[in-house]
């Protein structure tokens, strides 16, 4: 009877595991668009005005991702290859167009603040775009924390587009962050699973002043 019981338990656990993993749909490509909502006080009102109407859109295609943050000031675009770990950042503000190449180690250093992030999962939920989203509190090693509502109904193949979400069991649909000294909330207002043009992940060959990650760090230290 014991071997038969063990066989039954094994089959049961495999069935449960399969049902849990199949509950979440993994998509090869698509995008999520977020509206940027600013939480401000009187002192930050002018800075907040500059973010009025700002958006973030993250495109996914296989192991590649493209994150665009656009405002009236300009745009920052991050192209990331999940296989190599390398990334390219395009800053387009006014007449300045700068291309920054980043190796895997550079990209990881840039996101070092999210290393070792711990999530506390709560029972609270809210519905965003028809998806029931669960609340998680992300706790960083510097003692700060942020809220994120995520859907575990779907996800995309690429996970390293945002280091703070690598261990999140789903896609963030609303989350808190900081934009300079401003506290902002990104709220998903559109999700698409349509095909994404491969050209969106091409690295520009001209029109940009090219800098290395080390050069950017030295410039920031001087300022």
Q: For residue 103, is it within any domain? A: yes
Do the bridges between strand 29-39 and strand 55-61 make them parallel or antiparallel, or are there none, so unpaired? antiparallel
pLDDT tens digits along 115-166 = 999 999 999 999 999 999 999 999 999 999 999 999 999 999 888 888 899 8
Q: For residue 172, is it within any domain? A: yes
Q: For residue 184, is it within any domain? A: yes
Q: For residue 1, is it within any domain? A: no
- 10 has a pLDDT exceeding 60: no
Give the tokens for residue 87.
Answer: 């990334």
Q: For residue 2, is it within any domain? A: no
DSSP code string of 140-178: -TTS-EEEEEEESSEEES--TTSGGGTTSSSEEEEEEEE
Q: For residue 204, give the DSSP letter.
A: P
Q: For residue 152, is it within any domain? A: yes
CA contacts within 13 A on the Cβ side of 96: 9
According to the model, what pLDDT value does residue 182 have?
80
Q: Which of 9, 27, 11 is nearest to 19 (CA)?
A: 11
Q: Which domain holds residue 150?
A: 24-222
Integer angstrom CA distances of residue 14 from 22, 169, 170: 12, 20, 22
pLDDT tens digits along 160-191 = 888 899 889 999 999 998 877 788 999 999 99
Q: Which of 113, 110, 38, 44 is nearest to 71 (CA)?
A: 38
Residue 218: what are its φ and ψ, rounded to 5°?
A: -65, -40
pTM score of the predicted model: 0.85
> Is the separation of the CB atoms in 99 and 77 below 8 Å?
no
Q: For residue 8, is it within any domain? A: no
Q: Which of 178, 180, 174, 129 is nearest to 147 (CA)?
A: 174
Count how many domains the chain has: 1
Q: For residue 18, is it within any domain? A: no
Q: What is the CATH number for 88?
A: 2.50.20.10
């Amino acid at each position: 009877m014991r071997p038969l019981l063990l066989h039954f338990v094994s089959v049961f656990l495999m069935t449960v595991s399969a049902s849990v993993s199949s509950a979440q749909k993994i998509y090869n490509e698509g995008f999520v668009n977020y509206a940027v909502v600013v939480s401000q006080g009187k002192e930050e009102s002018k800075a907040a005005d500059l973010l009025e109407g700002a958006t973030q859109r993250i495109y996914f295609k296989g192991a590649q991702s493209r994150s665009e943050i656009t405002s009236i000031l300009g745009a920052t675009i991050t192209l990331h290859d999940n296989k190599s770990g390398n990334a390219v950042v395009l800053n387009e503000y006014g007449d300045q167009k700068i291309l920054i190449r980043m190796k895997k180690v550079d990209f990881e250093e840039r996101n070092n603040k999210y290393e070792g992030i711990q999530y506390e999962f709560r029972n609270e939920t809210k519905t965003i775009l028809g998806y029931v989203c669960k609340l998680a509190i992300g706790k960083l090693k510097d003692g700060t924390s942020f809220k994120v509502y995520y859907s575990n109904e779907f996800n995309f193949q690429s996970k390293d587009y945002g280091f703070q979400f690598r261990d999140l069991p789903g896609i963030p649909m609303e989350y808190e962050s900081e934009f300079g000294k401003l506290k902002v909330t990104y709220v998903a207002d559109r999700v698409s699973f349509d095909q994404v043009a491969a050209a969106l992940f091409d690295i520009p060959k001209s029109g940009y002043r090219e800098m290395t990650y080390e050069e950017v760090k030295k410039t920031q230290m001087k300022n």
